[in-house]
């Protein structure tokens, strides 16, 4: 015969009355992690600007800079997540009457939750300051070297290359300046719509562009065709390089986030063990 145990309301089940999650400690660890991320990120931007140079043969190479940026993202994640997780574990409430394995799990969960909260806060709060830092740094680098009288797009440089004439004075002093501006805008829109998704100029569009280039620059039709092919090839190569750089940055960012989650969880277990005075016993076991 099986005995049935009925737990009366209000009976003591042996579980502590303290909540399993100390949200105050988790929030504190997440805020500290976000603040450290911003500080170290600002330092990294200054360090990066000090090692790059617009002069040929000076500064680090593009490959070294990309690898260094990825490794620095990992360092940022390890540093900020470890300190944030440690604070979340060290400041949490003490659990009385809870098994040591359960305490270990809760400490790990505290570090992981603190990392997750810091990641969400960072995406919301740190995106604007980081964008301003990066945008201001880029503007400071290019302000003295590049100036533009009007709005330009990513395809304007390629159109400039297409329409470059061997006699610039003759090109600019023509009577069809309005028509030249119209044809330029049309070509910019044509290149943008055709190459936006990795496509190519249609045969009819390519033929039309070649005729415009020949008329604007005075080149022969064969030379105009060759220039169009060279510019389209260069545009595709540049877009492919930008795509690969974005993919590499995404991989480095993913690795830094995963490493940050691990560091935050491990540091929280250390902080919780030091909080309870059980860290040495855990390490020995």
Identify the residue with better confidence: 185 or 59: 185
User: If pLDDT is split at 50, 70 and 90, which confidence band does 204 have?
Assistant: confident
Q: What percent of the chain has pLDDT over 90?
A: 19
Q: Which of 89, 78, 106, 80 is nearest to 16 (CA)?
A: 106
Identify the residue with better confidence: 167 or 111: 111
Range 149-181 burial, b when 16+ CB lie within 10 A, else e? eeeeeebbebbeebbeeeeeeebeeeeeeeebe
Identify the residue with better confidence: 170 or 18: 18
Are 54 and 145 in contact by the 8 Å Cβ rule? The answer is: yes
Identify the residue with better confidence: 5 or 90: 90
The count of other CB atoms within 10 Å of the CB of residue 17 is 7
Are 90 and 32 in contact by the 8 Å Cβ rule? The answer is: no
Residue 149 confidence (pLDDT) above 60: no
Identify the residue with better confidence: 43 or 159: 43
Average pLDDT, integer, range 256-280: 87
Identify the residue with better confidence: 134 or 192: 192
Which pLDDT value is given to residue 131? 55
User: If pLDDT is split at 50, 70 and 90, which confidence band does 186 have?
Assistant: confident
Which pLDDT value is given to residue 285? 54
Alpha-carbon span 124 to 37, nearest angstrom: 13
Average pLDDT, integer, range 270-280: 80
Round the average pLDDT of the chain to a whole number and report it.
75
């Amino acid at each position: 015969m099986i005995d049935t145990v009925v737990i009366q309301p209000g009976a003591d089940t042996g579980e502590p009355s303290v909540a399993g999650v100390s949200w105050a400690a988790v929030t504190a660890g997440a805020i500290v992690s976000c603040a450290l991320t911003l500080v170290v990120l600002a330092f990294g931007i200054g360090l990066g600007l000090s090692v790059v140079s617009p002069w040929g043969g000076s500064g680090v190479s593009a490959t070294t800079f990309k690898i260094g940026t990825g490794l620095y993202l990992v360092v940022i994640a390890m540093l900020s997540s470890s300190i944030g997780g440690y604070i979340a574990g060290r400041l949490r409430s003490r659990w009385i009457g809870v098994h040591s394995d359960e305490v270990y799990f809760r400490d790990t969960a505290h570090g992981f939750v603190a990392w997750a909260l810091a990641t969400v806060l960072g995406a919301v709060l740190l995106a604007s300051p980081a964008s301003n830092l990066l945008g201001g740094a880029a503007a400071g680098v290019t302000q003295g070297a590049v100036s533009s009288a009007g709005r330009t797009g990513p395809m304007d440089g390629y159109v400039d290359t297409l329409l470059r004439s061997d006699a610039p004075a003759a090109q600019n002093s023509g009577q069809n300046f309005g028509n030249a501006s119209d044809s330029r805008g049309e070509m910019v829109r044509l290149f943008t719509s055709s190459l936006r998704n990795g496509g190519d100029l249609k045969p009819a569009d390519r033929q039309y562009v070649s005729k415009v280039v020949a008329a604007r620059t005075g080149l022969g039709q064969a030379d105009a065709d060759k220039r169009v092919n060279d510019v389209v090839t260069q545009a595709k190569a540049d877009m492919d390089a930008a795509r690969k750089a974005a993919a590499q940055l995404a991989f480095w960012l993913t690795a830094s986030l995963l490493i940050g989650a691990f560091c935050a969880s491990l540091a929280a277990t250390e902080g919780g063990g030091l909080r309870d005075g059980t860290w040495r016993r855990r390490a020995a076991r």
